[in-house]
Homo-oligomer: A and B are copies of this chain.
Amino acid sequence: MAAVDKLADIQRLYTEVKTSLKRNIVSDATGKAIHDFALLSLKFLQTDCTRIDLKSLVPGKSYSTFARNDFPTLVARPANSSLFDPDFGAVSAHWTAWWRGEIAPAELAKMSYTIALAPCLVMELFDRQNKKGPATYFECLIGHVFAKSIGVNPRKQAVLPIEGRNVRMTMDFLFDMGANVRHIHLPVKMSTRERVVQAWAHQRLLDAVFGIGTYKGIMVLFSETKLDVKKREVVEICVPDQWLAYQVHLARMDRIYYFDIPERYAALTAQFPELIPIKNFGEFFLEKAAVLAT
């Protein structure tokens, strides 16, 4: 079966993720749809693609990517070699275990990195310009994982009473946690670039309208890698000075999770551990209780 003939199956499973998530973000059907889509993607990468080593200009990290065997000139985005797990069986087992509530801490970082990235790689291998597909899938995945982890379904819309109007603003996810704990504002982005200021602006609106501390800001980001397709070199694009400015003068994010923490943001956290609290997303599973505590 040619690679392009498998596209219909891949697209069908992607649609299934979106529709079952819309129906019920924490349902068994949604968990299964994400699993099936990610695992079919991983299988496609193994059977119909070739792994290609990239030149990493990021100290201490190595990256590779994939190209379709029938279209070898087009390469997907970089995958961190120490986080991407090509072991189909292991990834499937760890997702299922997490989903059942059996936590296996050591494997969560690799499992979640692979589940998040594999479908994005495949979507890019059929359309390099497809930015929306990967972004939407990543948002679906994080919404599901958070909703399932904390047992609350999110909203997308904030209603802000301003100057006598009920101003409606669409945000990534808002979780209402009841009267005794802080609500959660969860911005989710594959990478930030300049657009990230929106997340801090939303947090500030929530702080201003409902009072600082009512909504805890938790930002979930994938990575900041950039691939030079011709040279096959990977760099990380970071703006630590801007983050410092936003975090001090726009609004304070309580926690920032990355799937692949960029080197320069890790350095910023080392310098300002209280102010810029960046962690690996795998740790979310282990510190869920602390994240939710008021």
B249 touches A162 (CB 8 A): yes
In this complex, how many residues of chain A approach chain B with their Cβ under 8 Å: the count is 27
A272 within 8 A of B: yes
Number of this chain's copies in the assembly equals 2
B205 touches A249 (CB 8 A): yes
**Hey, which chain B residues are within 8 Å of A272, CB to CB?**
163
A160 within 8 A of B: yes
A167 within 8 A of B: yes
B208 touches A241 (CB 8 A): no
Given contacts A163-B272, A197-B197, contact A209 B241 (CB under 8 A): no
CB distance from A269 to the nearest CB of B (A): 13
Cα A209 to Cα B246 in complex, Å, equals 12
Contact of A201 among B163, B169, B197, B209 (CB under 8 A): B197
A194 within 8 A of B: yes
The interface of chain A, by Cβ under 8 A from chain B, is: 160, 162-163, 165, 167-169, 194-195, 197-198, 200-201, 204-205, 208-209, 241-242, 244-246, 248-250, 272, 275
**Hey, which chain B residues are within 8 Å of A165, CB to CB?**
241, 244
Given contacts A160-B245, A163-B275, A167-B245, contact A250 B194 (CB under 8 A): no
Chain B residue with minimal CB distance to A195? B195
**Hey, which chain B residues are within 8 Å of A167, CB to CB?**
241-242, 244-245
CB distance from A90 to the nearest CB of B (A): 40
Given contacts A201-B200, A201-B201, contact A169 B245 (CB under 8 A): yes
Cα A169 to Cα B243 in complex, Å, equals 11
Cα A23 to Cα B201 in complex, Å, equals 35
Given contacts A162-B249, A198-B194, A201-B200, contact A168 B208 (CB under 8 A): no
CB distance from A245 to the nearest CB of B (A): 5
A248 touches B204 (CB 8 A): no
Given contacts A201-B197, A201-B200, A201-B201, contact A169 B249 (CB under 8 A): no
